[in-house]
Amino acid sequence: MDEAPMLYIGEEVGSLNGPEVDVAVDPLEGTDLVAKGLNNAMSVIAVANEGNLLHAPDMYMEKLAVGPALVGVLSISDPLEITLIKAAEKLNKKVSDLTVMILDRARHEEKIQTLRKIGVRIKFLSDGDVAGAMAPAFPGAGIDLYVGSGGAPEGVLAAAALKCLGGELQSRLIPADGIEYDRCLQMGIENPYKVLSMEDMIGKEDVIFAATGITPGEFLGGVKYYPDERAETHSIVMRAKTKTIRFIRTLHYLPNKPLIHK
């Protein structure tokens, strides 16, 4: 969506001697965040057995992301007001005590007005769709739901992360016109308006998700540079099969190497 260079669907990478897997990647999730020095930019990747990751067309996707406590409780097809009431009942909270995260975009004005009318707490996100969708699955983030639309490829990455975290993402593609609708059909999506479950996006099998913080965020630190030619990174590596979550801090030695190639 941000016209950044990316791998194309079907591109083969690697030695071709190992197991065949699907890879979803966003080397810079949050380009504007990095450009403006803001929080929550990450480099992210998800890997699953071949044929499991959705070939998500580069268009907008409506999303509803929740943590483990709300898995199987909500439906993206419900009006937002009903979704909030159901969430509050399940979490044993007042609706006004819910915290909902949403991208601060003009296209979300109607949803934002609904959130304000019903009285929930709103946490706006300037960019960083993957981190936003993951937030409800981290208790320390203080987010109950993530709603709104963002990039479809980022939705697949977020679904992979939430499967590892025990959360849930429901989604629905939003073709803007006939060209985007036809693109969905060409990529094997028979009904572009179908509600997509976790299984539709990442399959039933195992999935591995990894992310490294570029700028500081809700659950990852950003890259730090030290005067002794070293840099520190903070990463998370997760696997759905084992529900293992690893946080990794790494010191990298960068002897006299330019960080930007012109």
Domain end marker among 164, 188, 203: 203
Indicate whether 172 and 230 sit together in one domain: no
Indicate whether 157 and 50 sit together in one domain: no
Contact status, residue 42 vs residue 131, Cβ threshold 8 Å = yes
Q: Using alpha carbons, list the distances in angstroms from residue 29 to 68, 151, 162, 259.
A: 24, 11, 16, 19
In a domain, 3, yes or no: no
Please state the domain count of the chain.
Answer: 2
Choose among 215, 259, 252, 257: nearest CA to 230: 252
Which residues span the domain enclosing 181? 60-203
Tell me the whole-structure pTM to 2 decimals.
Answer: 0.90
pLDDT in tens, the chain (262 residues): 556 566 677 778 888 888 899 999 999 998 899 999 998 899 999 999 999 999 888 899 999 999 999 999 999 999 999 999 999 999 999 999 999 999 999 999 999 999 999 999 999 998 889 999 999 999 888 999 999 999 999 999 999 999 999 999 999 999 999 999 999 998 888 899 999 999 999 999 999 999 999 999 888 999 999 988 899 999 999 999 999 999 999 999 987 765 554 4
At residue 6, the pLDDT reads 61
Indicate whether 106 and 222 sit together in one domain: no
Domain end marker among 162, 180, 203: 203
What is the distance between the alpha carbons of residues 37 and 66, in angstroms, rounded to a whole number?
Answer: 28
